Each structure stands twice: as C-alpha cells, then as structure tokens.
C-alpha cells in the first residue's frame, strides 16, 4: 500500500524509519548551523575551564612571600579575553540552535500537512480531528523545543563533561580518577532516567491529544450542546480528560524529581576535595592546583542540573516525533494512479461504467452489492433510493474518494485506478447537501477549483447559479469574508455559491447530491434552469428525492439496500416499480406525480436527441426489477 494519494515533490527526502532518524534527516540539512552549535558548545566549555586554571595561577602568584602582581594582571587579562570569546561563541551557538529549531518546526509541519492532505478518505475516516490538530500544532512545537533548548543544552553540557578530563590530569595524573568515576556513574544514571522517562512522555503527549479531541468536539458541536442544555455534562467530560493529562504530567514530574545525578555531583565534589587535599598534604600539588581542580569539578554542575530538564525535553520531543511519524507513515488504500492518464486529448469524455462493483466502508456491511450500469457521455442520470441505500457511495467511487472492494469503476473505459487522481478529480465536480465553505472571501470560495479565474468569470458563474444578486447585497460584495464552513450564510446561499464553484470549473461530470434541499421553490426553479444549461454536453448525476428534478433525467436508477432494483424513465418506473412509487408516495406531494412538465422545463430539453437507451444493466438486475 502507498502512504498517500498525492505526494508533493521536495528537493530533499526525509528518513522515516524511526523518529530519531526522521528528525536527524531534517536537522542535517542545516549542517552549517549544526557546526555552529558544536563550535559554540566547545568554545563555551573551553572558556569555562580556562577560568579556574587562570585563577589557580593567580592564587599561586600572590601566595608567595613576594607576590608577583604581573602574573596576577596577566591572569586577569586572560580571563577577561577568554570570557569575551566565550560569550561570542555562546551567542553563535544559541543563534544556530534557534535557527535549526524554527526551521525544523517549519519543515516538519509542512511535511505533515502535505502528508495529511494527500491521505485518502479511508485514512481520515479513522482519525479524530482534535488529535490530528494536537499533533500538527503542539507536537510540532515540542520538537522545536527539543532542539532548542533541549539538544542545545545537551550538546553544551556534553562539552562541560569533556574539559575537566583534559585539564585535571595536567595538574596531577591522579586527579583524573574522580572525574572519570563520576562520568561512568553519570551516564549510567542518565540512561536509567531516560528509559523511565520515555514511556511517560509518550503518555503525556497521548493524553494531551485526547484532551484536545474532546475540546474540539465540544466546540464543533457547541450548538448541539446548548440546544440539549448539556453544558454541565460536557464540562464534566472535559474535566475527566483534563484529569488524565494532569495525572500523566504528575507522573512525569515524579520521575524527574527522582534524579540521581544530583546526589552523584555532591559525592563527586566531596571526593575530589578529599583527593586534592591528600595530594596537597603530600606536597604533590600546590594550593593553586587545588583551587583549579575544584573549579574544574564544579563544571560538572551545569550538565548535572541541566540534564534534568534537557533530557526531559528531548524525550518529549521524540515522543511527539513518533506521534507525527505514525500519521505520515500510515498506509492508505489509494495511490496516485499507476498509469497517470490525462484523458483523451487531455479532456475527459464523461462515460461512466460500473462493473459488478461491491463496496463497504472499512470492515462494515457492504453499501453496494454487485452494482453494474453504464452511462454514456452527456447523459443525465437520476439515482433515487431511501436514506442509506448507497446513492452517495456510487458517487464517491467515481471520483475515487474511495476504491471499490471488488469489481471495476471505469471512466472513459479506463479503470479509475489507472487515472492520475488530479486529472480525474479536476474534471468531476460534486455539490453535496452539506456544503463546505472556507473562511475566505466569496470570490475565493467560488474560484477554489479554478484559482486563476478572473473576476468577470467568477461573476458569470455566480449569475448562472443565481447567486450574483444576493452577493451584491453584501457590503463588500464578492470580497465578503464568510465564516468558517459558511456559517454567516443561509443554507440556500451556501448551495448557490457551491453551484457557482462547480460551474466555474466546467467539469465533464457534474454531480448534484441533494444540492437544492435548502433552497425555496422559487429559487429552485431559477437554479434548475441554470442546472439544465450546465448539464448540456456533460454527464450529470442527480441524487435527490424531488420529483421535479428527477423527471427530466434521461434515465433513473432505483437503488435499494445497495443493489439496483429498477432502471428506466419516470413514466415507465411509475408503472413497473413498486419501490419507485413508494418513495414518492411517502416523500412527494400528489400534485408532483402528475405527468405535466415542471414550470422550469423548456419545451425541448437541451439533451433531446439522446432518447435511445444508453444505460445497460445485467440481465439478473432486470430480473430483479421485474420481480419488484
């Protein structure tokens, strides 16, 4: 299986075999700044180690019967110079770490978004939006902080562990013993600390995702919550998830509090002082060496104190990286189309064929069972049936939102699996009952499928959809910004904008999935005229219970429980299909079952001349129809 329907071309490729490899493959792209961190860390530690050496020399110079103040002045001067260079290198190190952290956050978020937008609907159906948002926002931020201050401090503290081992033996060879023992004990305790911390930080990130999911659901469904007066219940539900996150965080804090290196540092300083004092008493070293040695041992304080925070930050960042990588590496059942076919002369003809198609969502009950039919270019087809019968599932297989479990769906005699997805979907426009509009201007929403459209083209599409007049009634006209999902517009206004968006893309296949359900009768009459004009020369599928729309279709397909039970024209089905009659006996007014044409129909339909049968159904399905 592939990991995405679409893949965005990059000038670089990340290593997704593990969270650490993935993050490092992004970090190494910014290697000059990585070198800056290393140089800065070594410079900072080197400057810190020079200070006790110079102080020891100065102490020896004045601890004489005749103090040598020139040595004192030289030592002071060298301390000042070394610390200035140390500060410059430290600034470069922090700057480099911050640059890498910010770029890492940018690149990882970009890669995650590209992956999510390319995943199939089968993948997205399994995901909780709140948890996905937590990974795309908070988890990415955690990785940024893992780099700076996390990794930045880890590298800086590692350098502080090295220099005492270099300078201490120069004072006396035996003085390497205590620092060496400390390092072995330090690394062992830190390893034990990280092993305990990693699973807990994963639990913290997971609990945060659950909390964010609960919050997102409550905000998304706030109207339902208020309508049912369930505010107290939802508050209790959120408090429960908040408690789970708090408990996980407290557990992490407990592990961080049991930090053995702090105890090791105290023991090391005491043992080092005892050892240096013994050597001084034996006359092996002078008092300045004792002071310099203790200053070098005190350098262990920085890595000891900082590790408690920095390794926790690194652990949290790796846990976040794992959560993000789980999304990116998740397999999808769809790919980009092996054939990458662009269509006949770059233009789809619009022929649609179903061959013994069976389909179900996930592992549930099949929504379609052995469905077969054929639609020739330019035909208008109405699909009718009760709620849940599988009407919308047919449409989602045509533009390959989902793939059939068995059988074949063909467009222009080519299996949709062989089409390039972008070319396939750009030529199919679907208008659903639940219209999604972005929090952008009306003009941008209309031109969403055709970003290069000019203002006159946008207005022409709006006129065709009977939306131009109400758009002009707004203060900012086409530049009016609609709320999220178009909440500032009525249902009819949203559907007319969606129609305008479909008209502007000029699709070869047009699908109207109960798209006029929120429109009043007068507006519906005007929109149907626009639909009739839009249907000319292109294949059109209509899913609706409104007989006024169904009757002007070339062919009507009746579907029940995922199977085709009848097929034909309206007059024929009224006489031969009890299921078809029952749908409208329950759902339409008696006056709509008469044979006169609706007011919106012209005397001659634009698709007249295609009266011959163009939809073929296997014999066994015709048999089902006659038995019905």
Q: What is the CATH number of the domain that holds 202?
A: 1.20.1560.10
- Residue 2 predicted with pLDDT over 70: no
Same domain, 148 and 265: yes
Same domain, 248 and 144: yes
Give the residue from 490, 506, 522 where a domain finishes: 506
Q: What is the CATH number of the domain that holds 619?
A: 3.40.50.300
Kindly report which listed range (15-29, 270-284, 541-555) carries the lowest average pLDDT score.
Answer: 541-555
In a domain? residue 180: yes
Same domain, 512 and 620: yes
64-68 mean pLDDT: 77
pLDDT band at 34 (very low <50, low <70, confident <90, very high): very high
Residue 540's beta-bridge partner residues?
380, 510
How many residues does this entry show for the chain?
A: 628
Same domain, 444 and 422: no
Can you give the pLDDT at residue 294? 93
- Residue 620 predicted with pLDDT over 50: no
In a domain? residue 3: no
Who has greater pLDDT, 584 or 158?
Answer: 158
Same domain, 263 and 151: yes
Whole-number percent of the chain with pLDDT over 70: 83
In a domain? residue 248: yes
Same domain, 397 and 536: yes
Domain carrying residue 256: 19-329
Q: Running DSSP on this structure, what letter comes out for residue 1?
A: -
Q: CA separation (Å) from 296 to 172, 283, 301, 302, 612?
A: 13, 20, 10, 11, 96
Dihedral angle sign, alpha carbons of residues 489, 492, 494, 500: negative
Same domain, 257 and 349: no
Phi and psi at residue 568, to the nearest 5°: 155, -160
In a domain? residue 10: no
> Which of 277-291, 373-387, 542-556 shows the highest mean pLDDT?
277-291
How far is 453 from 448, CA to CA, in rounded Å? Answer: 9
- Residue 269 predicted with pLDDT over 50: yes
pLDDT per position as a tens digit, 329-373 = 877 666 555 445 544 445 788 889 999 999 887 666 788 999 898
pLDDT band at 281 (very low <50, low <70, confident <90, very high): very high
Who has greater pLDDT, 528 or 311?
Answer: 311
Can you give the pLDDT at residue 601? 37
How far is 65 from 56, CA to CA, in rounded Å? Answer: 17
Can you give the pLDDT at residue 409? 92
- Residue 520 predicted with pLDDT over 50: yes
Cβ of 271: how many Cβ atoms within 10 Å? 15
Cβ(159)–Cβ(41) under 8 Å? yes
In a domain? residue 6: no
Number of domains making up the chain: 3
Give the residue from 485, 506, 527 where a domain finishes: 506
Q: Running DSSP on this structure, what letter comes out for residue 361?
A: S
Q: What is 470-485 written as a DSSP string? A: HHHTSTTGGGPBPPGG
Which element (helix H / strand E) includes 124? helix 121-125
In a domain? residue 337: no
pLDDT per position as a tens digit, 90-102 = 999 999 999 999 9
Cβ(421)–Cβ(504) under 8 Å? no
Same domain, 549 and 601: yes
294-303 mean pLDDT: 91
Who has greater pLDDT, 262 or 601?
Answer: 262
Residue 503 CB contacts under 8 Å (≥ 6 apart), including other chains:
461, 464, 465, 530, 534
Same domain, 466 and 379: no
Can you give the pLDDT at residue 343? 46
Average pLDDT of the chain is 80
- Residue 254 predicted with pLDDT over 60: yes
Phi and psi at residue 452, to the nearest 5°: -90, 10
Torsion of CA 590, 593, 596, 598, to 10 degrees: 90
In a domain? residue 623: yes
In a domain? residue 185: yes
How far is 542 from 553, CA to CA, in rounded Å? Answer: 8
Same domain, 202 and 316: yes
Task: Name which of 607, 508, 599 is nearest 549 in CA terms.
Answer: 599
Tokens 């104190």 correspond to what residue? Answer: 305
Can you give the pLDDT at residue 311? 84
How far is 584 from 114, CA to CA, in rounded Å? Answer: 45
- Give, in degrees to the nearest 5, the angle at Cα 350 between 416 and 570: 115
- Residue 554 predicted with pLDDT over 70: yes
Cβ of 172: how many Cβ atoms within 10 Å? 17
Cis peptide before 432 (omega within 30 of 0): no
Whole-number percent of the chain with pLDDT over 90: 22
Give the residue from 329, 363, 379 where a domain finishes: 329
pLDDT band at 182 (very low <50, low <70, confident <90, very high): very high
Same domain, 118 and 139: yes
Task: Name which of 320, 308, 317, 322 is nearest 153 in CA terms.
Answer: 308
Same domain, 257 and 313: yes
């Amino acid at each position: 299986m592939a990991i995405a329907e679409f893949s965005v071309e990059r000038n670089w490729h990340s290593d997704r075999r593990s969270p650490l490899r993935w993050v490092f493959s992004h970090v190494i792209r910014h290697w000059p700044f990585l070198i800056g961190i290393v140089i800065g860390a070594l410079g900072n530690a080197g400057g810190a180690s020079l200070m006790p050496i110079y102080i020891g020399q100065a102490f020896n110079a004045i601890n004489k019967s005749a103090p040598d103040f020139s040595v004192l002045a030289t030592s002071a001067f060298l301390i000042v110079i070394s610390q200035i260079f140390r500060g410059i290198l430290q600034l470069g190190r922090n700057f480099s770490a911050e640059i890498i952290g910010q770029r890492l956050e940018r690149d990882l978020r970009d890669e995650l978004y590209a992956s999510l937008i390319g995943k199939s609907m089968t993948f997205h159906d399994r995901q909780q939006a709140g948890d996905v948002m937590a990974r795309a926002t908070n988890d990415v931020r955690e990785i940024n902080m893992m780099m700076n201050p996390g990794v930045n401090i880890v590298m800086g503290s590692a350098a502080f562990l090295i220099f005492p081992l270099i300078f201490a033996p120069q004072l006396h060879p035996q003085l390497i013993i205590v620092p060496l023992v400390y390092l072995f004990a330090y690394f062992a305790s830190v390893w034990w600390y990280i092993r305990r911390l990693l699973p807990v930080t994963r639990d913290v990130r997971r609990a945060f995702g659950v909390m964010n999911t609960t919050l997102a659901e409550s905000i998304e469904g706030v109207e339902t919550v208020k309508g049912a007066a369930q505010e107290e219940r939802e508050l209790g539900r959120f408090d429960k998830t908040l408690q789970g996150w708090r408990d996980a965080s407290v557990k992490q804090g407990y592990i961080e509090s049991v930090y053995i290196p702090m105890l090791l540092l105290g023991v090391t300083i005491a043992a080092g002082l005892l050892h240096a004092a013994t050597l001084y008493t034996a006359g092996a070293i002078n008092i300045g060496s004792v002071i310099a040695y203790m200053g070098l041992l005190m350098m262990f304080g920085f890595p000891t104190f900082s590790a408690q925070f920095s390794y926790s930050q690194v652990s949290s960042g790796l846990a976040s990286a794992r959560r993000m990588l789980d999304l990116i590496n998740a397999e999808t059942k769809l790919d980009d189309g092996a054939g990458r076919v662009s269509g006949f002369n770059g233009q789809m003809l619009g022929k649609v064929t179903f061959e013994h198609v069976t389909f179900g969502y996930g592992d549930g009950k099949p929504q379609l069972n052995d469905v077969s039919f054929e639609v020739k270019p330019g035909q208008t087809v109405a699909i009718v049936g009760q709620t849940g019968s599988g009407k919308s599932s047919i449409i989602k297989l045509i533009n390959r939102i989902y793939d059939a479990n068995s059988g074949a769906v063909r467009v222009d005699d080519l299996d949709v699996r062989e089409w390039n997805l972008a070319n396939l979907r750009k030529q199919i426009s679907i208008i659903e009952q639940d219209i999604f509009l972005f929090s952008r201007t009306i003009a941008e929403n209309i031109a969403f499928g055709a970003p290069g459209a000019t203002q006159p083209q946008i207005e022409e599409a709006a006129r065709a959809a009977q939306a131009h007049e109400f758009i002009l009634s707004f203060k900012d006209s086409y530049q009016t910004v609609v709320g999220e999902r178009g909440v500032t517009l009525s249902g009819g206004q949203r559907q007319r904008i969606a129609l305008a968006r479909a008209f502007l893309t000029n699709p070869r296949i047009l699908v109207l999935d109960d798209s006029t359900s929120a429109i009043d009768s007068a507006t519906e009459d005007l929109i149907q005229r626009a639909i009739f004009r839009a249907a000319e020369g292109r294949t059109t599928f209509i899913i609706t219970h409104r007989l006024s729309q169904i009757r002007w279709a070339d062919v009507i397909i009746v579907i029940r429980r995922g199977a085709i039970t009848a097929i034909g024209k309206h007059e024929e089905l009224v006489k031969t299909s009890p299921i078809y009659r029952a749908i409208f006996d329950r759902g339409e007014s008696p006056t709509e079952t008469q044979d006169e044409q609706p007011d919106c129909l012209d005397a001659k339909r634009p698709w007249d001349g295609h009266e011959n049968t163009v939809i073929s159904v296997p014999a066994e399905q015709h048999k089902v129809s006659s038995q019905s």
